[in-house]
Structure 1
Amino acid sequence: MLRRPSAVPVEGIGLGCDYNYEQWSPAVWREDMALMREAGVGLVAINVFGWSDVEPRPGEYDFTALDEIIGLIHEAGIRINLGTGTASAPPWLTRRHPEVLPMADDGTTRYPGGRQAWCPSSPVFREHALRLVERVAARYGNHPALALWHVSNELGCHNALCYCDAGATAFRVWLEQRYGTVEALNKAWGTAFWSQRYADFDEVQPPRRALSVRNPAQLVDFQRFSSDALLDYYRAEAEVIRRHSDAPITTNFMVTAHIRNQDYWSWTADMDVIANDHYLDHRLPDPVAELSFAADLTRGLAGGRPWMLMETSTGAVNWQPYNLAKEPGQLLRNALTHVARGADAICFFQWRASAQGAEKFHSAMLPHAGRDTALWREVLELSAVLKSLGEIAGATVAADTALVFSWESWWATDTEARPSHDVRYLEQVHAAYRALRELGVTADIVAPGADLSPYKAVVVPCLHMVSDAETAAITDYVRDGGRAVITFYSGIVDPDDRVRLGGYPGAFRDLLGVVSEEFAPLLPGQEVALASGGRATVWTERLRCTTAEVVEAYADGKPAVTRNQFGAGLAWYVATALDPADLQNVLRQAVGDRGTGSSETEIVRRGDHVFVINHGGKDIEHPITGRELVTGQPVTGSLSVPAGTVRVVREEA
């Protein structure tokens, strides 16, 4: 049954956390309940990794500790986000059934000792996991403290792609359901190349590591299968839960720069609430801009409705090469950026910093140093601010521009055989998003094929793989008067990863009024001069205009950026990697400049409220009238936002 995301099950803008109570003594539990009340925590996730405690030996269940902690949380007036406990298998399961362990693409097994040491397609793992879910759901399905069910945890974070025999069998079944006949499979994969033609589905293997470049269509289909396999696993747990409980069910997505294996557009209909985990990634050139992008994409997955941040950090994480602490004030800025872009709950991993284990240096709401710390005081400040913003809950974000995002294009772009390994899908998406953000434009991030009629403009970065129907959605939108900006390496292949013949950019040739005869990528560090004096990198192509006009040329006069009148609308083609200022200039023509954005300032409207987020080192002024909710002060004409702070104004006419 298809489901629509429902309201986030908290009051106002909620504050929550993960609580790994099993790491602490009962005396600490009681201390933590008092501290959670002090901090204003309203939602606690428990039993996320509880399998080995709840079922210490096969078929032997012990709910003593879980019963007690649920009772304490309920007595404290806090609601529960209850994990099913299945995220990682207990040691007894992998010892008795080593066949559940996942296999990497080089054919080697991945062993216990970390987490998620299980194959998503393993029937043995599923049998044991669902048996646990049945017990947990039957016991707690109607508990008055239960607000939400949390299926597994970060599904596919480590084990999304499994190449074992169980995965191979499931892959063949998936392929037969998708294609019907092996002849159709051969056509879709282009197996005439390199003598790869199959005579039977039983001959198909997962795309394990090979001596040469692997079949790119097979790689994309294996990504699709793997995403579907994890979704099918989620559905299996949810089906068990629904036999015992009416509480909403979800799992935590990972809309973030380093996780790409789930096509979450295909998952959303099965979620009662859209939830995301997000941590600042300091391996990126602009982690704060990526935070905003991830929040907007999560809102897109929620269909524009509010969503919840299931996990984030108060400070440093534990898994990057350099795990940086947050600067004073950054915790509040980061959290309110998510709220500005649609979050109705901010939850942290975790409540109390662990003393042992792989994540013992991961920050928490209550740090190792305890309460007499700047971090604890910032947690209390955030709690007070979230409480003051309660009236915003349920409101939607105002956006008049769309950005098209595709996990399938990500898979197809970043494959093994491509014209340039410097063309990376997410980098092109982030470049377009940053340009919009710095123009002050709030964008809805939408799936390929989405209805674009509500928007004044649409940006289509690097949509390499696109179907005829998805192409038509963009083409018809422009014909009817819309404005579109499409960037290079778009429209090149169909969903079977088959090149669209007749010249690039394939599916978008007529819309853009151009034909490219040949790609001409650049070497690392190589630049080309533009006629305007700018520079471009990474990519060029041998482009000629059919009906388009040249907006920007290379120094030799050949087209680099074009614009085409198509029906009642306009379509721009950016055929090279422009520097940020030049890309902004192109988007300014199509989308406009709100005059309110910069790399250090974000201004976002949510309902009747305007968020002004100052990431910079200087005070700023913003023209507005209303009541400011963080300070509780009236604002008449102009709002002062000190450096590094956030202000939220309920606007008045």
Structure 2
Amino acid sequence: MAPRPFAHDGIAFGCDYNPEQWTPDVWDEDIALMQEAGVDLVAVNIFGWSHIEPRAGEYDFRALDDVIGRLHAAGIRVNLGTGTSSPPAWLTCAHPEILPVAEDGTRRYPGGRQAWCPSSTAFRAAALRLVEAVAGRYGDHPAVALWHVSNELGCHNALCHCGASAAAFQTWLRAKYESIDALNRAWGTAFWSQTYTEWEQIGTPRATLSTRNPGQLLDFHRFSSDELLSYYRAEADVIRRLSDVPITTNFMVTAHIENLDYWSWAADMDIVANDHYLDHRLDDPNAELAFAADLSRGLGGGAPWILMEHSTGAVNWQPLNKPKAAGEILRNSLTHVARGADGVCFFQWRASVQGSEKFHSAMLPHAGTDSAVWREVVELGGIVERLGEVAGSRVEADVALVFSWESWWATQNESRPSRALGYLDQVHAAYAALHAEGLTVDIVAPGSELSAYKLVVVPGLHLVRAAEAAVVTDWIAAGGTALVTFYTGTVDEDDRVWTGGYTGPFREALGIRIEEFAPIAPDACLRLSDGATARLWSERSRVMTAQVEASFVDGPSAGHPAVTRNAWGNGAAWYLATLPSAADYRALVARIAGEAGVRPAATVRGGDGAVVEIVRRRGADAAYLFVVNHGSAPLVIDATGTELITGTTVEGHADVPGGAVRIIREEAAA
């Protein structure tokens, strides 16, 4: 099915709006202030179910009609939610079987959000009736620019263990394996007397007294992602019958949200949309922001995407909810635009005064318009308006990083060499080194075509199919340069260990045979022979054809290779057997990137050593160089053209003050 293009004049600037939390006299004030801020896309009816269907089958659209009409009259387009994210009280009281069951077997109750089981037929029937009513009423409304299915699907309820989920899981397994013998082989049920003889014997992987079957856990993640995708498709099918407007839902490409394999979802989106919030529990939140933006772009095959939600300041769900520093709203927002976003939206418009999110920041804060946040929002809106010509252009990248949700699930298994290390630790560390070097990265799925890239990074790809590994090793043989990191190639798609030495199907290309993992305590430090330091992991191995670039000096793998390089065909395969310090990882990446002929999009001089983001988007008629200075000291970027934020002419170089962003339309070929 061909996607329906999302058409917008320039870069969208918008927000979530919850008018049901306010009286109509506030709506007029809100819309006037939206116009002042430059808001031109507003998401409504995200949590509207109980307001538009207060009782079963009884619909009241008067308030929503009014709000949409007022927004339309003000020239503001609508991103219309289907309203199905959280069921109303009348539905869960009438059908308590809708409520999800956690892995410990306890049922979870209303009072929060997403209190529904993805496999519940009663929930789906009620939700689709609502979608039919909403799409039937607004399907051809001139204000509606985009349909927003549900909200953050699977954020809380992706993994349900109720009876309906167990039955649906059995159906999914039958379709995948066809025979019970094939399932037993895939799950290795000969272990611990787990062999099944009938499909009905199989349940969801609820909590057990011991560790659970890894194959069952892995397939349950796959099933759960597919089950929610089936639900999304059901809503989208209703909308498509009643409206020609494009359809999407907001992904959660961000740290710690792992339950949906968005590679399998992306083709169903008319445009990819993502929610992202800075996570201050991470060592490098800005690098993770850039990674999430690059992954959102990757999900769309490089096409522009929409940032559906981010924040003007603190969120409300971290242990310590930090406000943003001066200028950080601008830097965060334009980093997403630099990395392919054609829309920048916030949660939410007006800060709530009640409910669980009353301390979540907003475009219009509790302090009102006489506040620093409001002034930065208005400034950002004016800048976004001036960037309209950037819309539709695409990001240029010479580096690909292979990312896999399946590998994330398998790596986080209950029985693994070290619980101190997770999949994202590897991914984020590799990406942060590339990010610190100013290199632009495309995030790609295992098995993706690699011919457009000079360097490919494969961090911790624990689960890999033989054909997916062959894409990388064949690309290396054809002349590419790759960096593969530890714990890659450990198991196949059934979570079965590749024997003969770890790294499995990558082994020959890497020219090294890993015989034994030797993780170390989180507080321990390893020294390498080249002067670098590392942590968390080491390996006992021997080289076959590879050249040792650095060895472990101490620790359980002292004397064994830590960094190797192997000539493979016309290319080079590097292997990293540990997790270096951030500075040492950056130095290694700089060396490998230099060998591969990869350079930042432009040359930077000065600054204070802080990370500088340099990304180029290229359109049909011009290229746009984005420079985000995260430091406090000024720097100089080599460029020629017109700077779009200040409107100044750039001849040979541009000054970028500390904490500032510059976007240069390059009029000469770059």
TM range (shorter): over 0.9
Give the corresponding residue for 2:624: 609
The DSSP-based 3-state class of the residue aligned with 2:242 is coil
Q: Which deviates further from its counterpart, 591-600 or 71-80?
A: 591-600
- Any idea what the Cα deviations from partners look like across 1:126-184, whole Å, max 9, x if unmatched? 00000000000111100011100000000000001101111111100000011001100
The AA in structure 2 aligned to 1:594 is: R
Give the corresponding residue for 1:338: 336
Distance 2:406 2:154 in 1: 16
2:591 to 589, 611, 614: 589
Distance 1:506 1:580 in 2: 27
CA drift of 1:528 comes to 2.3
CA drift of 1:586 comes to 2.5
The DSSP-based 3-state class of the residue aligned with 1:267 is helix
The DSSP-based 3-state class of the residue aligned with 1:171 is helix
CA drift of 1:9 comes to 3.2
Give the corresponding residue for 2:307: 309
Q: Is the 8 A contact 1:8 1:344 kept in 2?
A: no
CA drift of 1:7 comes to 4.3
Distance 2:414 2:433 in 1: 29
Give the corresponding residue for 1:118: 116
Q: Is the 8 A contact 1:419 1:521 kept in 2?
A: yes
- Any idea what the Cα deviations from partners look like across 1:266-310, whole Å, max 9, x if unmatched? 001100010000011111111111100000000000100100000
- Any idea what the Cα deviations from partners look like across 1:196-221, whole Å, max 9, x if unmatched? 00001100010000000101111110
Give the corresponding residue for 2:169: 171
TM-score (norm 2): 0.96
Q: Is the 8 A contact 1:7 1:306 kept in 2?
A: no
| 4+ aligned runs moved over 6 Å, structure 1 | none
The AA in structure 2 aligned to 1:647 is: R
Runs (5+) with no aligned partner, structure 2: none
Distance 1:318 1:402 in 2: 34
Give the corresponding residue for 2:565: 563
CA drift of 1:325 comes to 0.8
Q: Is the 8 A contact 1:8 1:306 kept in 2?
A: no
Give the corresponding residue for 1:618: 633
The AA in structure 1 aligned to 2:644 is: L
1:579 to 571, 577, 581: 581
Q: Is the 8 A contact 1:614 1:643 kept in 2?
A: yes
Give the corresponding residue for 1:148: 146
1:471 to 469, 472, 475: 469
- Any idea what the Cα deviations from partners look like across 1:231-274, whole Å, max 9, x if unmatched? 00000000011110010000000000020100000001100010
5 Å-filtered alignment, 1:92-241, equals 92-241=90-239
The AA in structure 2 aligned to 1:566 is: W
CA drift of 1:428 comes to 0.5
5 Å-filtered alignment, 1:244-323, equals 244-323=242-321
Runs (5+) with no aligned partner, structure 1: none
CA drift of 1:588 comes to 2.2
Q: Which deviates further from its counterpart, 363-372 or 203-212?
A: 363-372
Distance 1:185 1:505 in 2: 25
Give the corresponding residue for 2:71: 73
1:433 to 426, 431, 437: 431
Q: Size of the alignment, in residue pairs?
A: 651
Percent sequence identity is: 63
Q: Which deviates further from its counterpart, 6-15 or 343-352?
A: 6-15
CA drift of 1:425 comes to 0.4
The DSSP-based 3-state class of the residue aligned with 2:303 is coil
Distance 2:421 2:372 in 1: 42
Give the corresponding residue for 1:542: 540
Distance 2:659 2:585 in 1: 27
Q: Is the 8 A contact 2:6 2:145 kept in 1?
A: no
Give the corresponding residue for 1:451: 449
Give the corresponding residue for 2:654: 639
The DSSP-based 3-state class of the residue aligned with 2:400 is strand
The AA in structure 2 aligned to 1:301 is: L
Distance 1:464 1:443 in 2: 21
CA drift of 1:646 comes to 0.4
Give the corresponding residue for 1:499: 497
Distance 1:10 1:320 in 2: 34
- Any idea what the Cα deviations from partners look like across 1:439-489, whole Å, max 9, x if unmatched? 111010000000001100100000000001101111111111111100000
The AA in structure 2 aligned to 1:96 is: A
- Any idea what the Cα deviations from partners look like across 1:546-567, whole Å, max 9, x if unmatched? 1111111122542111111111
Give the corresponding residue for 2:8: 10
The DSSP-based 3-state class of the residue aligned with 2:369 is coil
Q: Is the 8 A contact 2:470 2:505 kept in 1?
A: no
Distance 1:368 1:38 in 2: 18
Distance 2:508 2:193 in 1: 35
The AA in structure 2 aligned to 1:270 is: D
CA drift of 1:626 comes to 1.0
The DSSP-based 3-state class of the residue aligned with 1:441 is coil
2:626 is equivalent to residue 628 of structure 1: no
1:420 to 415, 418, 421: 418
CA drift of 1:590 comes to 2.4
The AA in structure 1 aligned to 2:571 is: G
CA drift of 1:518 comes to 1.0
Q: Is the 8 A contact 1:331 1:378 kept in 2?
A: yes
Distance 2:570 2:317 in 1: 50
Q: Is the 8 A contact 1:487 1:573 kept in 2?
A: yes
2:323 is equivalent to residue 325 of structure 1: yes
Q: Is the 8 A contact 1:8 1:307 kept in 2?
A: no
Distance 1:92 1:317, change over 3 A: same
- Any idea what the Cα deviations from partners look like across 1:353-407, whole Å, max 9, x if unmatched? 1111111111111111111111111111001110111110000001011000000
CA drift of 1:599 comes to 4.4
Q: Is the 8 A contact 2:11 2:390 kept in 1?
A: yes
Distance 2:66 2:456 in 1: 53
Distance 1:330 1:577 in 2: 30
The AA in structure 2 aligned to 1:13 is: I
CA drift of 1:507 comes to 1.7
Q: Is the 8 A contact 1:79 1:146 kept in 2?
A: yes
Distance 1:81 1:9 in 2: 12
CA drift of 1:541 comes to 1.1
Distance 2:582 2:347 in 1: 34
1:355 to 345, 353, 359: 353
- Any idea what the Cα deviations from partners look like across 1:28-77, whole Å, max 9, x if unmatched? 11111111111111111000100000110111111111111111111111
